[in-house]
């Protein structure tokens, strides 16, 4: 696979015209049901919605998750490798919605600025993009994230207890806050605790894109009415409606005994939850929130 012709920060015009970039992103969050949503989106034919192909020796999950903007972390590095990224979508119909479903894009808050700059450099309108994100109870998500890492023997989870992860999470967040300048948002990264700080993440994305580009929902809503969720996503992405989602498609399900969650973990997330629901009040147009299936988290952990 060749990389793009590089001339300072400008791709050659010949290559720019051939670049195929996503028009939609399923941002995550991790362990919130995004894979279930993606599997449902695969019901649309490729001429309407296309997730592209894997290339080279990529793992099977690259069909959903391209892990591009979380791998090349600067605008310059992304531009040097954007032709490679484009090859995932080279067989997609020109009129199809092209989608990348990498859940790390939500929790790594360095990404939105880079993504906007890259689309501008490619002479593509960043404000025509559509984004979908799903959330769940922050504590439940963090525990699920931890158990998933242990189950798959990820390096950062080997021989670590839930209590170890919590201690690291508290310490990491304190360090993040200590280097954040007045008037700026702290960065978040895809660690178990920080990946559940949805309000901070949303605000980073809103600094670079418009509220009308986003559709937010909760896992609780998806469980109650998968058809309603898929109808809303189809409308948001400009796809025709489909009536075949009466049951939740389960994916990446793990069986484990949930660890004890100490009160300090609940207290850690409480102000962030309050901030999220305050944001929802001020930007209700971004949220899926019908009267019969309101935006909410699991009742035992929510701070609504």
Provide the β-strand partners of residue 214: 131
260-290 burial, b at 16+ Cβ within 10 Å, e below that, comes to: eeeeebeebbeebbebbbebbeeeeebbbbe
Give residue 164's pLDDT.
95
Measure the CA–CA gap between 145 and 73, rounded to whole angstroms: 23
Mean pLDDT score across all residues of the chain: 90
Helix, strand and coil percent figures for the chain, each rounded to 5: 45, 10, 45
Q: How far is CA 59 from CA 14, 63, 64, 176, in A?
A: 30, 8, 10, 32
87-125 burial, b at 16+ Cβ within 10 Å, e below that, comes to: bbbeebeeebbbbbbbbbbbbbbebbebbbbbbebbeee
For 61, residues 6+ apart whose C-beta sits below 8 A from its C-beta are none
For 70, residues 6+ apart whose C-beta sits below 8 A from its C-beta are 102, 104, 105, 108, 111, 190
What is the residue whose two structure tokens read 């859940």?
103
How far the first Cα of the chain sits from its last, in Å, is 49
Give residue 249's pLDDT.
73
Cβ atoms of 245 and 227 within 8 Å: the answer is yes
Q: What is the tens place of the pLDDT at every residue in 179-199?
A: 999 999 999 999 999 999 999
Q: What is the pTM of this model?
A: 0.91
Side-chain-side CA neighbours of residue 60 (13 Å)? 0
Q: Which of 25-29, 86-90, 297-301 has the lowest mean pLDDT?
A: 297-301
| Encoded tokens for 86 | 């484009």
Q: What is the tens place of the pLDDT at every residue in 209-262?
A: 999 999 999 999 999 999 999 999 999 999 999 988 988 777 766 666 778 888
Provide the β-strand partners of residue 287: 216
């Amino acid at each position: 696979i060749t990389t793009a012709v590089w001339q300072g920060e400008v791709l050659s015009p010949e290559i720019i015209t051939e670049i195929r970039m996503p028009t939609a992103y399923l941002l995550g969050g991790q362990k919130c049901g995004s894979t279930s949503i993606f599997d449902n989106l695969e019901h649309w034919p490729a001429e309407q919605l296309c997730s592209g192909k894997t290339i080279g020796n990529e793992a099977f999950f690259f069909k959903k998750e391209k892990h591009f903007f979380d791998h090349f972390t600067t605008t310059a590095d992304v531009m040097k490798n954007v032709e490679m990224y484009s090859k995932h979508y080279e067989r997609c119909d020109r009129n199809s919605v092209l989608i990348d479903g990498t859940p790390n894009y939500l929790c790594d808050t360095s990404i939105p600025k880079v993504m906007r700059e890259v689309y501008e450099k490619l002479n593509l309108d960043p404000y025509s993009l559509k984004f979908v994100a799903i959330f769940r109870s922050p504590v439940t998500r963090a525990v699920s994230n931890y158990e998933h890492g242990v189950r798959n023997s990820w390096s950062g989870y080997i021989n670590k207890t839930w209590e170890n992860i919590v201690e690291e999470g508290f310490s990491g967040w304190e360090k993040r806050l200590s280097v954040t300048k007045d008037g700026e948002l702290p960065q978040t990264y895809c660690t178990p605790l920080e990946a559940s700080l949805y309000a901070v993440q949303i605000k980073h994305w809103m600094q670079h894109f418009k509220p009308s580009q986003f559709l937010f929902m909760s896992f609780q809503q998806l469980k109650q009415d998968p058809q309603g969720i898929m109808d809303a996503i189809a409308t948001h992405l400009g796809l025709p409606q489909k009536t075949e989602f009466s049951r939740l498609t389960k994916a990446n399900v793990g069986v484990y005994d949930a660890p004890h969650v100490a009160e300090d973990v609940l207290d850690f997330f409480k102000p962030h939850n309050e901030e999220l629901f305050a944001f929802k009040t001020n930007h209700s147009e971004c949220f899926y929130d019908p009267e019969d299936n309101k935006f909410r988290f699991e009742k035992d952990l929510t701070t609504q």
